[in-house]
Chain A
Amino acid sequence: MYATSYHRASSVEDAVKTKATHDEGKYLSGGMTLIATMKQRLAAPSDLIDLRHIPALRGIKVEGRKVTIGAATPHADVAASRELKAVCPALCQLAGHIGDPHVRHMGTIGGSIANNDPAADYPAGLLGLGATIVTDRRSLVADEFFIGLFETALEEGEMVTAVTFDAPEKAGYAKFNNPASRFAMTGVFVAKTAGGVRVAVTGAGSDGVFRQAGMEQALAGNWSADAIANVAVDASKLMSDLHANAEYRANLVKVMAKRAVVSAC
């Protein structure tokens, strides 16, 4: 790791101001990605602005069917939240299968979506739920927020403060683990929302998380695993790597989508 300076932000304003005065600085949330990258010397921020001690960034609020999750809320809190489980158990289940217990107690939802790893779970969850990402300066719908591999709509210095969504009528998530990293080799989140059926796929797309329009249409007419059996999955837009080629991933997209539908509640 290269030398860096640490700042503990006391409020969102404090953090954004500190960031503004340090061009080469970075927000630090759970550090599960950032610290590891720094240790490998692949990132060299001059300053780290720690968000984990800002009370406003942490916690889960459920008001009726409106859910708000603070950006610095660790995965373990999301997995264990009774209030959230009552309205959207699929997201609890998703969070409960991220990494291992250490990672779940450190890693945060804000860090995960700001990082937008193409194999991360939350991007599928939030895109599938049609969530809104709230930042220090604006609100963005998930469809606009997730742009590509490790790429989001966040501007320089912009901070995610929360995510919000209306609890869906039904939702399910099925993940096929990469055998080595246990990130999603393919993960599919399906949701029946007020705005319609949404199907979001992570771990598979060569441009990161994406919506599967064919499956959305099929499920809108007939919410069942059978409905998607004949939907074509285009392998040409999927990733190929050591662990899975595009053809196999195309198969997984379909199998995981079916399982997500079957498990949806």
Chain B
Amino acid sequence: MGVEGIGARVTRKEDKRFLTGKGRYTDDMTAPGMRYAYFVRSPHAHAKIRSIDVSAAKAMSGVIDVLDGRQLLADGIGNLICGWMIHSKDGSPMKMGAWRPLAADTVRYVGDAIAIVVADTLGEARDAAEAVVIDYDVLPAVTEAVDALKAGAPQIHPESSDNLIFDWQIGEPDATDQAIAAAAHVTEIEIHNNRLSPNPMEPRATLGIYDGAEDHYTCYTTSQNPHVARLVMSAFYNVAPENKLRVIAPDVGGGFGSKIYIYPEEIVCLWASKKTGVPVKWTSDRTEAFLTDAHGRDHVSKVKMAFDADHRITALKVDTIANLGAYMSLFSSAVPTYLYATLLSGQYAIPAIHANVRTVYTNTVPVDAYRGAGRPEATYLLERTMETAARELGISPAELRRKNFIRTFPYQTPVIMNYDAGDYEASLNAAMQAADWAGFEARKATSEANGKKRGIGMSCYIEACGIAPSAAVGSLGAGVGLWESAEVRVNAVGTIEVLTGSHSHGQGHETTFAQLVAGRLGVPIDSINIVHGDTDKVQMGMGTYGSRSGAVGMSAVVKALDKVEAKAKKIAAHLMEADEQDIVIENGELKVAGTDKALPWFQVALASYTAHNLPAGMEPGLKETAFYDPANFTFPAGCYIAEVEIDPDTGETDIIQFVAADDFGNIINPMIVEGQVHGGIAQGIGQALLESVHYDANGQLLTASFMDYAMPRADDLPSFNLSHQNTPCPSNPLGIKGCGEAGAIGSPPALMNAITDAIGNNGLTMPATPMKVWQALHAAH
């Protein structure tokens, strides 16, 4: 513990460089002879490429070369892949359409990359890109998943005749149908989960450097998982063997999932660097980011929830259509399946569940994991359904939830997950108290007197973090294991480097990981450095997504620290002529318990490296590596309450209060946790009220800039009222559950429940823009 250990509000070590503009991002990187890339992209959502003529572009001033998909194919560069195999319920494998890094014969969404121009300046590259002449045979396009499944819809990939990628199910169809048939009440609802653009502050960028003398590649990139990027680029895209490819993800300005995946640009810039003999840098502009960063969500679901006469849920049936866009992105298949349907039990004991999920190609940007990934979809579906059911049954939403909460742990759901710990009622009670739920009717009356409509809504979410036990995900189709690695490297003077396979792009690992070490050893936090994001420095690791860095990444650090401490104790015992069992580590010293004998930490470190006097047979040095494979998922949960006031004249929603009561297990740094929750709720409010990607009927992106894509701003948000009801997670050594996504998962249904409560019309879809709320109000009257 202590002022810098676990539980302390340590200010973020990395903030000095970020706040003073000294962060080092991919676009800040340069290399001798570096040139600039601009990508020629498809202006059509769906077209055959008849011909590509680069001759005029090649002749333009400053142009080094213009390369297209034909050369890429000839050089044996492989297709982009989806790394998680899903089988349809008939046993057939998912239908993965070919995704060429540079399209050579067909383009399938506006923004699909076709050619790369490398030139002395970005301006010249862009000028030349405009001179590339491409003759298209424009084909009909389809953007909505529901439409893409209809007979006669344009076929997007030869691999799938009906645009269906897979038709998958989980749970018990017969038991579910029987329970629904026998139910006292069935709530039916159609749920839409809107398509979102991730919009991290830093757009994607990459710098590819080929060193001909060594036949070696270096790739700077905006990645959440540089080792996975290296693995995929060498194993599947044949860019280079791993030992000839170094991937560096330096400071990264936010990801929210969108920087997990391997995109065409990294591969193409590396390849182009070899072709041209110069380092090649590409930095996305904001419009390109809207056009090409993987989007999130985009589900349409039909839901039936069955209740007995006592209001207990007896079954849940879900039929979901998920839009995966034009190509299968790296983890796209896992999001609407194992990250979604496995959470459909929510916080409730539901004896029978059946979910059917159809994933579909459309002429839109690929869809993949975005903050929460699957779990917001499950939570939104369940919590909107619960709210609707409570209204239909005429009982309070809190009572309906209380009646159905899971109360004994471990709890095996019908959809794979085994919840290890939780206390859902504690969060519900805390949230209702913080929101003064009981006083709502009086506040509503005041609003009514002022001509306003007030509503209140709750959402009780559960999610699964700390992905994931490698054997479990392997058996479900994952192409990788989801363990994490750490190396704790004690220097000769006692300072410490922790090399982690996790990657920080806003999470504050340089602080929280150091807190763990500082607390364990009692050394100053400034003597600890966290090293991450470089495959040449750090051992293989799996990166950061799915709120896994605390639960999995820090658990690996714990294991490595255990080994370091054990060795340090042996050395100390030897030096102080004491029994190893009696050595304790406290306040930066190794002490013999019950005596005043002690050695400072640095002396033990030094002794390990001088190696003048070590126990017999001991290797010199103090440096240990550990790999941690989680035993289970972790299950953060909580209750969120939103209270809104609506102006019936304009349909504007004012968020009067927002209460979040979360169970994150043990907390490393409350300040960072609060920051994560604030950011998550901001994104959730964005999804509920503001954000939505729109394509027109031809597949042109209408929301390609912030002029039309509404991002939440500070004055769109209320002050958040946060509290924690933590039950330590029994499945990892630190008892951590994870907090990175909860805010984005729990908040949309709370808001939508509040708004529909206020306006008395349940048929509202996200985002609840002023116009939609106004229309719903008028439709209700």
Contact A180 B707 (CB under 8 A): yes
Interface centre among B123, B694, B708, B771 (most CB of A within 10 A): B771
A1 CB–B CB distance under 8 Å? yes
22 contacts between A and B (CB under 8 A): A1-B123, A2-B127, A3-B123, A40-B287, A41-B126, A176-B650, A176-B770, A179-B690, A179-B769, A180-B707, A180-B708, A180-B710, A180-B711, A181-B708, A242-B703, A243-B769, A243-B771, A244-B771, A245-B771, A248-B774, A251-B650, A255-B650
- Chain B residues, CB < 8 A from A9: none
| CB nearest to A183 among chain B residues | B707
- Chain A residues, CB < 8 A from B707: 180-181
A252 CB–B CB distance under 8 Å? yes
Q: Which residue of B287, B649, B710 is within 8 Å of A179 (Cβ)?
A: B710
- Chain A residues, CB < 8 A from B710: 179-180
Q: A180-B706, A248-B651 are known; give 15 further A-B pairs, CB within 8 A.
A: A3-B123, A41-B126, A41-B130, A176-B650, A176-B770, A179-B690, A180-B708, A180-B710, A180-B711, A242-B694, A242-B708, A248-B771, A248-B774, A248-B775, A251-B774
| CB nearest to B647 among chain A residues | A255
B609 CB–A CB distance under 8 Å? no
| CB nearest to A245 among chain B residues | B771
Instruction: Report A32-47 CB contacts with B as 1/0, cut-off 8 Å.
Output: 0000000011000000
Closest chain-B Cβ to A90's Cβ sits at a distance in Å of 20
B25 CB–A CB distance under 8 Å? no
- Chain A residues, CB < 8 A from B706: 180-181
Lowest 6 CB-CB distances: which A-B pairs, in order?
Answer: A180-B710, A179-B710, A181-B707, A248-B771, A255-B649, A244-B771
- Chain B residues, CB < 8 A from A245: 771
- Chain A residues 213-263 with CB under 8 Å of chain B are 242-245, 248, 251-252, 255
Closest chain-B Cβ to A46's Cβ sits at a distance in Å of 15
B437 CB–A CB distance under 8 Å? no
Closest chain-A Cβ to B126's Cβ sits at a distance in Å of 7
- In the assembled complex, the Cα of A255 lies from the Cα of B451 at a distance in Å of 14
Q: Which residue of A2, A242, A248 is within 8 Å of B702 (Cβ)?
A: A242
- Chain B residues 108-137 with CB under 8 Å of chain A are 123, 126-127, 130
B709 CB–A CB distance under 8 Å? yes
- Chain B residues, CB < 8 A from A40: 287
- In the assembled complex, the Cα of A245 lies from the Cα of B708 at a distance in Å of 14
| CB nearest to B702 among chain A residues | A242
- In the assembled complex, the Cα of A248 lies from the Cα of B127 at a distance in Å of 42
Closest chain-A Cβ to B143's Cβ sits at a distance in Å of 14
Contact A179 B770 (CB under 8 A): yes
Task: Give how many B residues have a beta carbon under 8 Å from the other chain's beta carbons.
Answer: 23
Instruction: Report A1-37 CB contacts with B as 1/0, cut-off 8 Å.
Output: 1110000000000000000000000000000000000
| CB nearest to B649 among chain A residues | A255
Closest chain-B Cβ to A197's Cβ sits at a distance in Å of 22
- In the assembled complex, the Cα of A41 lies from the Cα of B775 at a distance in Å of 38
Instruction: Report B751-781 CB contacts with A as 1/0, cut-off 8 Å.
Output: 0000000000000000001110011000000
Interface centre among A1, A40, A179 (most CB of B within 10 A): A179
- In the assembled complex, the Cα of A243 lies from the Cα of B650 at a distance in Å of 13
- Chain A residues, CB < 8 A from B287: 40
- Chain A residues, CB < 8 A from B774: 248, 251
- Chain B residues, CB < 8 A from A1: 123
- In the assembled complex, the Cα of A252 lies from the Cα of B711 at a distance in Å of 22
- Chain B residues 691-709 with CB under 8 Å of chain A are 694, 702-703, 706-709
Instruction: Report A140-182 CB contacts with B as 1/0, cut-off 8 Å.
Output: 0000000000000000000000000000000000001001110
- Chain A residues, CB < 8 A from B123: 1-3
- In the assembled complex, the Cα of A248 lies from the Cα of B706 at a distance in Å of 22
- In the assembled complex, the Cα of A2 lies from the Cα of B706 at a distance in Å of 23
Interface centre among A1, A245, A251 (most CB of B within 10 A): A251
- Chain B residues, CB < 8 A from A3: 123
Closest chain-A Cβ to B124's Cβ sits at a distance in Å of 10
- In the assembled complex, the Cα of A180 lies from the Cα of B769 at a distance in Å of 11
| CB nearest to B711 among chain A residues | A180
- In the assembled complex, the Cα of A209 lies from the Cα of B706 at a distance in Å of 23
- In the assembled complex, the Cα of A3 lies from the Cα of B126 at a distance in Å of 12
- Chain B residues, CB < 8 A from A243: 708, 769, 771
Closest chain-A Cβ to B428's Cβ sits at a distance in Å of 32
- In the assembled complex, the Cα of A248 lies from the Cα of B126 at a distance in Å of 41
Instruction: Report B602-641 CB contacts with A as 1/0, cut-off 8 Å.
Output: 0000000000000000000000000000000000000000
- Chain B residues, CB < 8 A from A252: 650
- In the assembled complex, the Cα of A242 lies from the Cα of B700 at a distance in Å of 13
- Chain B residues, CB < 8 A from A255: 649-650
- Chain A residues, CB < 8 A from B650: 176, 251-252, 255
Closest chain-B Cβ to A247's Cβ sits at a distance in Å of 8
- Chain B residues, CB < 8 A from A2: 123, 127
Closest chain-A Cβ to B704's Cβ sits at a distance in Å of 10
Closest chain-A Cβ to B121's Cβ sits at a distance in Å of 10
Closest chain-B Cβ to A23's Cβ sits at a distance in Å of 21
Interface centre among A2, A41, A180, A251 (most CB of B within 10 A): A180
Closest chain-A Cβ to B644's Cβ sits at a distance in Å of 15
Instruction: Report A101-127 CB contacts with B as 1/0, cut-off 8 Å.
Output: 000000000000000000000000000
- In the assembled complex, the Cα of A245 lies from the Cα of B772 at a distance in Å of 10
- In the assembled complex, the Cα of A243 lies from the Cα of B769 at a distance in Å of 8
Closest chain-A Cβ to B648's Cβ sits at a distance in Å of 10
- Chain B residues, CB < 8 A from A179: 690, 710, 769-770
| CB nearest to A41 among chain B residues | B126
Closest chain-A Cβ to B120's Cβ sits at a distance in Å of 14
- Chain A residues, CB < 8 A from B771: 243-245, 248
- Chain B residues 703-738 with CB under 8 Å of chain A are 703, 706-711
- Chain A residues 179-196 with CB under 8 Å of chain B are 179-181
Closest chain-B Cβ to A252's Cβ sits at a distance in Å of 7
Closest chain-A Cβ to B39's Cβ sits at a distance in Å of 15
Closest chain-A Cβ to B755's Cβ sits at a distance in Å of 15
Closest chain-A Cβ to B777's Cβ sits at a distance in Å of 11
| CB nearest to A186 among chain B residues | B650
| CB nearest to B703 among chain A residues | A242
- Chain A residues, CB < 8 A from B702: 242
Instruction: Report B275-292 CB contacts with A as 1/0, cut-off 8 Å.
Output: 000000000000100000
Closest chain-A Cβ to B697's Cβ sits at a distance in Å of 13
Closest chain-B Cβ to A44's Cβ sits at a distance in Å of 11
- In the assembled complex, the Cα of A45 lies from the Cα of B767 at a distance in Å of 39
Closest chain-A Cβ to B231's Cβ sits at a distance in Å of 37
- In the assembled complex, the Cα of A251 lies from the Cα of B773 at a distance in Å of 13
- Chain B residues, CB < 8 A from A180: 690, 703, 706-711
Closest chain-B Cβ to A83's Cβ sits at a distance in Å of 29
Closest chain-B Cβ to A82's Cβ sits at a distance in Å of 26
- In the assembled complex, the Cα of A103 lies from the Cα of B649 at a distance in Å of 30
Closest chain-B Cβ to A261's Cβ sits at a distance in Å of 14
- In the assembled complex, the Cα of A242 lies from the Cα of B769 at a distance in Å of 11
Closest chain-B Cβ to A242's Cβ sits at a distance in Å of 6
| CB nearest to B690 among chain A residues | A179
- In the assembled complex, the Cα of A243 lies from the Cα of B692 at a distance in Å of 11
- Chain B residues, CB < 8 A from A41: 126, 130
- In the assembled complex, the Cα of A1 lies from the Cα of B649 at a distance in Å of 43
| CB nearest to B709 among chain A residues | A180
- In the assembled complex, the Cα of A245 lies from the Cα of B774 at a distance in Å of 12
- In the assembled complex, the Cα of A251 lies from the Cα of B649 at a distance in Å of 8
- Chain A residues, CB < 8 A from B126: 41
| CB nearest to B767 among chain A residues | A179
| CB nearest to A100 among chain B residues | B713
- In the assembled complex, the Cα of A18 lies from the Cα of B709 at a distance in Å of 39
| CB nearest to A39 among chain B residues | B285
- Chain B residues, CB < 8 A from A248: 651, 771, 774-775
- In the assembled complex, the Cα of A244 lies from the Cα of B708 at a distance in Å of 12
| CB nearest to A244 among chain B residues | B771
Closest chain-A Cβ to B772's Cβ sits at a distance in Å of 9
- Chain B residues, CB < 8 A from A176: 650, 770
| CB nearest to A252 among chain B residues | B650
| CB nearest to A182 among chain B residues | B713
